[in-house]
């Protein structure tokens, strides 16, 4: 429990007025008119008001002292963090030459997209994007059990090519060879196929598209598929990952993609015959690049050095974002511009070290001070820019904040002028934008910082340091790793918002980005005990499918169905679900009785007639056997996967 802060004087305005009136009665009994209309009472109230303001200032002294103590401890406010997203840049038409988008290409939301306001949110690409042209140079069939066969000549002669074996099996593949690798490009695979791959659901065929990265096949995301599982003429949009590499397969060096048959999930139809390809072509339709809600500012003058220690200069456009690297500060000299390194403190800086500190929230740069030692000598904690030297920030990033967490599809405008780019869009919501830390929050975490002393020993230490390293994460849990003593497993759950504004999250939203995992790992590596093995990863998500049958009054079926589904997605939510609404507890099982109560409370007078719980794999979609209780491992969280609710209308007799 925190020590109570003293109230140095708790008197308020009315109390001061009443005390003054009582004092008047004692010292001047002839003064009998104490109404507010009396000029003397007006003077009393005026002075009472001034004293009340003085007492307010006096009571702020403990807060000021506490803030000064935090400053002595080295507690600094966390700067805002910039939201990031993946944005697709679509070509107006396939181009014969490479289209290059430079780093810093700006895209934005349309006006009014950001929470209903009129201000657009601007993003910039983090790296260069090369949209490489492609075509089909090789078509190879690769049965699961058998030799790879080059079908390019057969296709060119106008003959049909079976995509898989006559009776397709999981593992059969159709390989597409491109002239070169097309990392981060969007490729359209156009096929003219006959309806022979009968048996499959064209909306959910047992197929996966993959790209070769030099060591393994990486799964590719796919867009619109108009071929119906390779059964009719159409095209498939394939999003090629960044690791795509040209390799030699079957004696041909090419950038390889493949379409592979997967095992069917329970209830998913499978191929009874192989689809047949008559014509095939491949061409590049765009590219994908990471963007962030930040702006890079260059060559900002700060001022002129006075040649004394401890100088401070402030930017005109704070804050300074540090998640992409420190700002670059330079000082002029006879040899040219010299770079000064940004450090956390000057405790290890020598007299010749060109070091500077930055306060990211305010954009203030501080040069090393000079300290007086006990023997009276002066110790210089770093070099001092010479008098008259010009100081500038060569490069820094500004922006960030929660405004950048825009919804899927909100980024739709290309600000920079780029030839051949027709449109832009983001397939996933931007995430990671966090506002700068408040002083009240810094006061709350100060005791933890004082207790930990920048060391990760207990599980709570690991969780606190992880949250400080990546403020954008929603939940962190530290557990011992399963592979033995001396190993720590840190589970990270990112923040996410459902696209429709309800609790129906998609599985992709619950996987933290590689950058977040690397940032947390680097921070913990500096503070963990020697010999401790560390694993930072997302938790295991146990999919749960609830199949329920309810009965209600005629005319209320749709309303009851929506209420039941909303209650299920809300309760079985890893971020905001569970019995207390703060997120499903790690390792907590899902039980029949609890789900029954959730549905009954949500639907009011409806009758819950039947409930069945199914464990499900949210990646493959495979559903297990029904159970009354679904157990979760200690480091697992629940995930709602395709709940099904059927509501029927009760007969009047049943309702009576």
Query: Alpha-carbon distance 86 to 288, whole Å?
Result: 6
> What class does CATH assign to 138-283?
mainly beta
Taking CB atoms within 8 Å and a gap of at least 24, the contacts of 337-343 are 337/392, 337/394, 339/394
Query: Alpha-carbon distance 196 to 511, whole Å?
Result: 38
Confidence (pLDDT) at 109 = 93
- Whether 428 shows a pLDDT value over 80: the answer reads yes
- Whether 626 shows a pLDDT value over 70: the answer reads yes
Q: pLDDT grade, residue 653 (50/70/90)?
A: low
pLDDT tens-digit series, residues 34-75: 888 888 889 999 988 998 888 888 887 787 888 888 888 778
Mean of pLDDT values over 227-244: 91
Number of H helices, E strands in the chain: 10, 37
Q: pLDDT grade, residue 87 (50/70/90)?
A: very high
Confidence (pLDDT) at 10 = 79
Tokens of 52: 């009340």
Angle value at C-alpha 317, between 315 and 318, nearest 5 degrees: 80
- Whether 499 shows a pLDDT value over 70: the answer reads no
- Whether 117 shows a pLDDT value over 50: the answer reads no
**Are residues 149 and 202 in contact, defined by beta-carbon separation less than 8 angstroms?**
no
Query: Alpha-carbon distance 360 to 325, whole Å?
Result: 12
Domain boundaries, given as residue ranges, for the chain: 13-59, 84-132+402-426, 138-283, 296-398, 454-537, 540-655
| Strand 370-372 relative to strand 378-380, pairing | antiparallel
Q: pLDDT grade, residue 114 (50/70/90)?
A: very low
Q: pLDDT grade, residue 426 (50/70/90)?
A: very high
Taking the CB of residue 79, how many other CB atoms lie within 10 A of it? 25
Angle value at C-alpha 221, between 215 and 227, nearest 5 degrees: 115
Confidence (pLDDT) at 508 = 86
CATH code: domain 454-537 is 3.30.300
- Whether 120 shows a pLDDT value over 80: the answer reads yes
Q: Which residues contact 619 (CB under 8 A, 6 or more apart)?
A: 507
Query: Alpha-carbon distance 171 to 164, whole Å?
Result: 9
Helices 592-603 and 557-571 cross at an angle (nearest 10°) of 140
CA 332 to mean position of chain CA atoms = 39
Q: What is the DSSP string of 458-477?
A: SHHHHHHHHHHH-TTEEEEE
Confidence (pLDDT) at 419 = 93
Share the mean pLDDT of the chain. Answer: 89
- Whether 31 shows a pLDDT value over 80: the answer reads yes
Instruction: Show the beta-strand stretches assigned E in 54-206.
Output: 84-91, 99-101, 106-109, 122-125, 129-131, 138-142, 149-150, 161-162, 173-178, 185-194
Mean of pLDDT values over 127-132: 96
Q: pLDDT grade, residue 502 (50/70/90)?
A: low
pLDDT tens-digit series, residues 179-200: 999 999 999 999 986 655 567 8
pLDDT tens-digit series, residues 449-482: 787 778 899 999 999 999 988 888 999 999 988 7
Q: Which has the minimum average pLDDT: 17-31, 278-292, 396-410?
A: 17-31
Tokens of 284: 């590049």
Q: Which residues contact 545 (CB under 8 A, 6 or more apart)?
A: 613, 614, 615, 616, 623, 641, 642, 643, 644
Query: Alpha-carbon distance 432 to 81, whole Å?
Result: 7
CB-based burial, 402-415: b 16+ in 10 Å, e otherwise: bbbbbbbebbebbe
- Whether 21 shows a pLDDT value over 90: the answer reads no
Taking the CB of residue 139, how many other CB atoms lie within 10 A of it? 22
Confidence (pLDDT) at 466 = 93
pLDDT tens-digit series, residues 507-519: 888 999 888 999 9
Cα distances (Å, whole numbers) of residue 531 to 460, 527, 528: 19, 12, 8
**Are residues 183 and 170 in contact, defined by beta-carbon separation less than 8 angstroms?**
no
Residue 444 CB-density burial (10 A; 0-12 exposed, 13-18 middle, 19+ buried): exposed
């Amino acid at each position: 429990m925190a020590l109570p802060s003293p109230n140095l004087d708790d008197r308020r305005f009315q109390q001061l007025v009443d005390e003054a009136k009582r004092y008047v009665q004692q010292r001047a009994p002839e003064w009998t008119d104490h109404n507010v209309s009396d000029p003397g009472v007006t003077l009393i109230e005026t002075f009472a008001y001034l004293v009340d303001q003085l007492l307010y200032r006096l009571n702020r002294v403990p807060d000021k002292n506490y803030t000064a103590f935090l400053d002595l401890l080295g507690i600094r406010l966390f700067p805002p963090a910039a939201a990031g997203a993946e944005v697709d840049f679509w070509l107006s038409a396939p181009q014969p030459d490479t289209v290059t988008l430079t780093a810093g290409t700006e895209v934005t939301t349309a006006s009014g997209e950001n929470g209903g306001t009129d201000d657009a949110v601007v993003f910039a690409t983090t790296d260069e994007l090369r949209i490489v042209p492609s075509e089909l140079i090789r078509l190879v069939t690769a049965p699961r059990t058998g030799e790879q066969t080059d079908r390019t000549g057969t296709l060119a002669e106008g003959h049909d090519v079976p995509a898989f074996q006559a009776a397709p099996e999981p593992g059969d593949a159709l390989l597409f060879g491109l002239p070169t690798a097309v990392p981060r490009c969007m490729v359209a695979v156009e096929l003219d196929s006959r309806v022979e791959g009968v048996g499959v659901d064209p909306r959910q065929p047992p197929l996966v598209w993959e790209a070769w990265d030099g060591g393994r096949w990486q799964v590719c995301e796919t867009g619109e598929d108009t071929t119906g599982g390779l059964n009719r003429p159409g095209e498939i949009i394939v999003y090629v990952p960044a690791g795509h590499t040209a390799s030699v397969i079957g004696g041909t060096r090419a950038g390889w993609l493949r379409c592979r048959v997967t095992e069917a999930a329970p209830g998913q139809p499978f191929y009874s015959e192989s689809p047949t390809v008559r014509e095939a072509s491949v061409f590049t339709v765009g590219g994908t690049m990471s963007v962030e809600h930040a702006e890079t500012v260059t060559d900002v003058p700060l001022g002129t050095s006075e040649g004394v220690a401890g100088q401070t200069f402030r930017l005109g456009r704070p804050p300074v974002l540090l998640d992409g690297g420190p700002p670059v500060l330079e000082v002029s000299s006879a040899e040219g511009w010299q770079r000064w390194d940004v450090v956390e403190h000057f405790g290890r800086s020598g007299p010749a070290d060109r070091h500077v500190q930055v306060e990211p929230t305010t954009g203030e740069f501080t040069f090393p001070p000079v300290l007086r030692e006990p023997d009276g000598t002066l110790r210089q904690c770093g070099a001092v820019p010479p008098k008259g030297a010009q100081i500038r920030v060569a490069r820094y990033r500004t922006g960030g904040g929660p405004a950048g967490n825009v919804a899927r599809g909100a980024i739709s405008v290309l600000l920079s002028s780029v030839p051949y780019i027709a449109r832009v869009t983001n397939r996933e919501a931007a995430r990671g934008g966090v506002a700068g830390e408040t002083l009240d929050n810094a006061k709350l975490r100060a005791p933890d910082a004082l207790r930990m002393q920048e060391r990760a020993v207990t599980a709570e230490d690991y969780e606190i340091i992880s949250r400080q390293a990546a403020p954008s994460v929603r939940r962190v849990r530290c557990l011992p790793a399963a592979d033995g003593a001396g190993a720590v497993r840190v589970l990270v759950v990112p923040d996410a918002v459902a696209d429709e504004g309800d609790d129906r999250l998609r599985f992709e939203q619950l996987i933290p980005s590689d950058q977040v995992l690397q940032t947390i790992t680097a921070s913990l590596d500096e503070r963990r005990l020697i010999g401790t093995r560390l694993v930072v990863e997302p938790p295991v998500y146990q999919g749960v499918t609830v199949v329920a049958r309810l009965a209600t009054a005629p005319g209320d079926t749709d309303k009851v169905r929506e209420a039941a589904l909303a209650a299920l997605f809300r309760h079985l939510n890893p971020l905001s679900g569970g019995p207390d609404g703060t997120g499903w507890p790690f390792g907590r099982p899902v039980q029949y009785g609890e789900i029954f109560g959730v549905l009954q409370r949500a639907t009011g007078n409806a009758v819950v007639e039947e409930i069945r719980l199914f464990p499900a794999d949210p990646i493959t979609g495979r559903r297990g056997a029904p159970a009354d209780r679904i157990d979760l491992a200690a480091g697992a969280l629940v995930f709602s996967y395709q709940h099904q609710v059927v509501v029927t209308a009760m007969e009047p007799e049943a309702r009576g």
